[in-house]
Copies of this chain bind each other. A is one copy, B any other.
Amino acid sequence: MNYASELRRVYEACLPFVGEGKVADYIPELAGVDPSYFGLCLHEIGGATHSVGHANVPLSIQSISKVLTLAMVLPQNLDSFERVSVEPSGDPFNSLVQLEYESGIPRNPFINAGALVVTDMLIAREAQPKEAILEFVRALSGDSSIGFNLEVAESELATAHRNRALAHLMRGFGNLQADVERVLDVYCHHCALEMTLEQLVHAFAFLCRGGRSWGREVMPLRAVKRINALMLTCGFYDEAGEFAYRVGLPGKSGVGGGIITVLPGHFVLGAWSPGLNPKGNSKLGMRALEMFTDNTGLSLF
């Protein structure tokens, strides 16, 4: 498979649609992003990395960070991961409802409630959780320049009413241990990580390589299998079924317009375009990824 030419073919077919979708506007820092950014980047298991478009412009990774924090806590908790469930949420209404019906146990680690619990687990372990996250992500990406966008983190914190509601509710159920404001602070920071598509595909390479990154084992294969399964069933809000149906790759999206996908044993493939569809996933990003797996026949299924 000539990945570089397949990538370019998809890129060109998508160019007429650049700008489609609606940029996230709940904080000014995201609302101001240029909607014409569009990039694709594929990292082969063999080591080569292929880019087209804006693959080297930093984007706000937002919910994509939930995979990275999960990767920090899952391996040590593989047989007792009981504070978060692993089922798709299926609920368009942002899950406060489910959380209440299900006694404060979030449906999965990729909805906000679940990611808050994962953050809480991280805080319990790390004296300096924000620094630990930076260190982990920089090591995976092989790039020590990666950092938080502090304006984004501040803005998110100031408007995080619903996440505060989720956190207090879980605290009421006994499923959050650290102080609510502390959990929100760490959470809003990891969502405010800024990375380029190239940095992202390198950071996710361990999910393609059976748990190894730059020659080191990050986690055992059993953990990798579970994270990839979670991305497939829960990685795209309440559009996970549609994404699996049309694209057929495990992955994770963020409201910054980024999407990272993995075909285990083959490649990590990222797409970025800030315009979102009504479900909150990058519209052009999904289009490009579907085209790629339809053209190449490369998908899980």
Contacts and interface: CB of A to CB of B under 8 A. Distances in A.
Contacts of A161: 168-169, 171-172
A88 B169 contact: no
Contacts of A88: 87-88, 90, 233, 240-241
A100 B90 contact: no
Contacts of A301: 224-226, 228-229, 232, 250, 264, 300
Interface centre among A88, A234, A239, A299 (most CB of B within 10 A): A88
Interface in A216-247: 221-222, 224-226, 228-230, 232-234, 238-242, 244-246
Identical chains bound together, number: 4
Interface of A: 85-91, 93-94, 96-98, 100-101, 107-108, 161-162, 164-169, 171-172, 180, 221-222, 224-226, 228-230, 232-234, 238-242, 244-246, 248, 250, 264, 293-294, 297, 299-301
A244 B222 contact: no
A233 B225 contact: no
A295 to B, nearest CB: 11
By CB atoms of chain B within 10 A, which of A162, A228, A244, A246 has the most?
A: A244
A171 B158 CA distance: 12
A204 B234 CA distance: 26
B90 A91 contact: yes
Contacts of A297: 221
Given A88-B90, A97-B97, A168-B168, A245 B264 contact: no
